Amino acid sequence: MIRVLFVGDVVGKPGRDWLAARAPGLRESLGLHFIVANAENAAAGSGLTGALANSILSCGVDGITLGDHVWDQRGFETEIVGLERVCRPANLPEINPGRRFLVLERDGLRLGVFTVLGRQFLPPRADCPFRVADRVLAELEGRVDLVLAEIHAEATSEKIAFGRYLDGRAAIVVGTHTHVPTADATVLPSGTGYITDVGMTGPYDSVLGREVKPVIERFLHGMPTRFPVADGDVRLSGAVAEFDPVSRRVVSMRLLTVAANEGAAAGTG
Ligand SMILES: [Fe+2]
Ligand SMILES: [Fe+2]
């Protein structure tokens, strides 16, 4: 069995530190072949830098994906070109720098990874995620043993439709962006492991990773406000897929939550 852990949006220093503390142990205890993490919120809650990408990779993460916050850190559009294990959303305009997908190799196994941005309730700058996924899958054909596709999107309908669209063509489809884990981890009819949102890796005593009070203030008054990253109840949230290379189907898909205050892995779903 090939086991893959996908880690949801890593938020700020609390998320980075908790991921670094737990990734090596999780690889060992869960027998993971690959760990992939979305790091779109790793730099102070918005975006990523080259230095932070390398520090996340050095703690045992094999590949990094991004989302709508991809270009939030100044200069990252230059740095991303040199980051071989980081990919930007595949359906951004072609002129955007960075890789559209990754081919990660470990112990002779090859995992293809890509992310697409959803288009419902997000700024309309991305190409059709469905058609772009078709194109990326065609490019990965024959080059990888299995594919992990991520849909970084707001609408559950768009994410579920995307999972169904790729059922049997990508081994794993995970949703991200809402930062709230969903209770629907499943194996779809044609063998794709699917979950609508894996949640975030960061402080859950928060509003989506940010301090509660400023977010409430913004809703009350509508004035521009800074949203510092919170620090309470830090959890790693992700999904673990178990792929059978003989049947070429995922045989189990589950949400994984690792809370700091528990100090141990607890699986649900
Ligand atoms: Fe995010
Ligand atoms: Fe996002």
Structure tokens of 146?
Answer: 């299995």
Where are the alpha helices (H) located in 181-262, listed in sequence order? 212-221
pLDDT, tens digit (0-9, with 9 covering 90-100), for 206-241: 999 999 999 999 999 999 999 999 999 999 999 999
pLDDT, tens digit (0-9, with 9 covering 90-100), for 49-105: 999 999 999 999 999 999 999 999 999 999 999 999 999 999 999 999 999 999 999
- pLDDT at residue number 268: 40
CA of 248 to the centre of ligand 1 (A): 30
CATH 3.60.21.10 fits 2-268, yes or no: yes
For ligand 1, a single-atom ion, which residues have Cβ within 5 Å? 9, 40-41
Residue 267 pLDDT more than 50? Answer: no
Q: CB under 8 Å to 156, separation ≥6 — which residues?
A: 175, 182, 196, 197
The ligand with the least distance to the CA atom of 12 is 1
CA of 35 to the centre of ligand 1 (A): 18
The ligand with the least distance to the CA atom of 43 is 1
The ligand with the least distance to the CA atom of 153 is 2
Q: Indicate if 69 belongs to the active site.
A: yes
- pLDDT at residue number 125: 87
Mean pLDDT of the chain: 96
- Please, are residues 178 and 240 in contact by the beta-carbon 8 Å criterion? no
For ligand 2, a single-atom ion, which residues have Cβ within 5 Å? 67-68, 177
CA of 52 to the centre of ligand 2 (A): 18
- Give the integer Cα–Cα distance in Å for 266 and 17: 19
| Sequence ranges of the domains in the chain | 2-268
CA of 178 to the centre of ligand 1 (A): 7
CA of 131 to the centre of ligand 2 (A): 20
